[in-house]
Chain A
Amino acid sequence: MIYQNERAIYVKIADRVCDDILSGKYQEDERVPSVRELAADYEVNTNTVLRTFDILQRDEIIYQKRGIGVFVSPGARHKIRIARKREFRQHELPEFLRRLRLLGLTIDDVVKAWNEDSEETNS
């Protein structure tokens, strides 16, 4: 059963920070915006951003230098990719397969679409 829910704000902001690390906006060992800057960007309480930093630090995506700021950990991009792949396999892929069966599509349809898309991307 699909429930529509919004994940907690601090988790959503953590996702956005991870997006920006993956896209290369924040490079490894570079500073990420401060608590105050992120609070202003997302219009949230600073304590919410502190919780975001807590989970990112726990997952070793960022690290703090006392009095200087918060930085992207070495290897953060790799860690985020692994975590995202795991999430994709656990949640999105089963739902995708369920939809395929429900609609009577086969894996061949997916392969065909994949190849077409790859050609377009390469050309």
Chain B
Amino acid sequence: MIEVQNITFSYSSKGTPVFDNFCLQLEQNKVYGLLGENGTGKSTLLYLMMGLLRPNKGHITVEKVDVSRRKRTTLQQMYIVPEEFDLPQMRFTDYVETYRPFYPAFSDDILRRCTEEFHLPLDARLDQLSMGDKKKALMSFALATNVPYLLMDEPTNGLDVPSKKQFRKVIATTMTEERTLIIATHQLHDVEALLDHVLILQRSQLLLNASVAELCEKYTFDVRPEDDLTDEVLYTERTPQGNATLSLRQPNDEETSLNLELLFNAVTSINNQN
């Protein structure tokens, strides 16, 4: 479990804090979507969880150990794929051989499955790959480390349409039990069906912290005619098909599919009104 306990963090002593007395708990064996508009602190939160940034106040613990102590036993359980990164001038296979000793649970099987799905040649020079292929290479390595806590910042940025599909397949097959994946993104459609749990950040506050199962149990997502907006309707958006609607689910209604974009817009706009 990752526990963020009452942290306050700011990048400079004069600036307004990015987080002020912020708390969050992340459980094992779940795929979390960390959503929020630009500049709401998604990446900062990931770096804090990794121990790459340190909070001014409060603590972040992974398996009860403070990440800012940067203990080997903690670091070998975590991996982050940042939004932007540079890779060294070496072949992919050499990169793997160089960095795998840091991760005791490293899986050749997962690496093979990822590189096959992504059509990545293992003998390719990393610095000569396109941006999308660099990302796929680092994601393959990240998944193959087999760490219990994997963090990804905007993983689908820079990926073309077929690659996004490959990404979803790779995540669907390699995120098995006892692993936690935290995906920070605003590409909602890319990750919608992969998530177990939704976190929405706004102005450094957690607006929503709920499981997908819970959301689908409580709410109905559908498209309704203009004149049929009853009391249980909480939020609507006009679309060419009618009103895309988020409403309270009635006891006998069948569950509907989560519409993450509608949920996101509903949660952030309701908060803006207050």
A contact residues vs B (CB 8 Å cutoff): 1, 3-9, 11-12, 36, 39-40, 42-48, 51
Contacts and interface: CB of A to CB of B under 8 A. Distances in A.
Given A7-B257, A8-B256, A43 B193 contact: yes
Q: With a 10 A CB-CB cut-off, give which of A39, A43, A48 has the most chain B CB atoms.
A: A43
Given A40-B173, A45-B194, A1 B31 contact: no
Contacts of A12: 257
B172 interface: yes
Q: With a 10 A CB-CB cut-off, give which of A9, A45, A48, A51 has the most chain B CB atoms.
A: A45
Interface residues of B, number: 29
Given A36-B173, A40-B169, A48 B254 contact: no
Contact of B221 (A1, A6, A11, A48): A6
B132 interface: no
Contact of B257 (A8, A36, A40, A46): A8
Given A4-B223, A6-B221, A44 B255 contact: no
A7 B256 contact: yes
Nearest to B228: A1
A11 B196 contact: no
B64 to A, nearest CB: 26
A46 B171 CA distance: 9
B19 to A, nearest CB: 28
Interface in B201-226: 213, 216, 220-225
A119 to B, nearest CB: 38
- List of 5 A-B pairs having minimum Cβ-Cβ separation, nearest first: A5-B222, A43-B168, A39-B172, A6-B257, A8-B255
A6 B256 CA distance: 5
Given A6-B256, A8-B254, A44 B194 contact: yes
A45 B257 contact: no
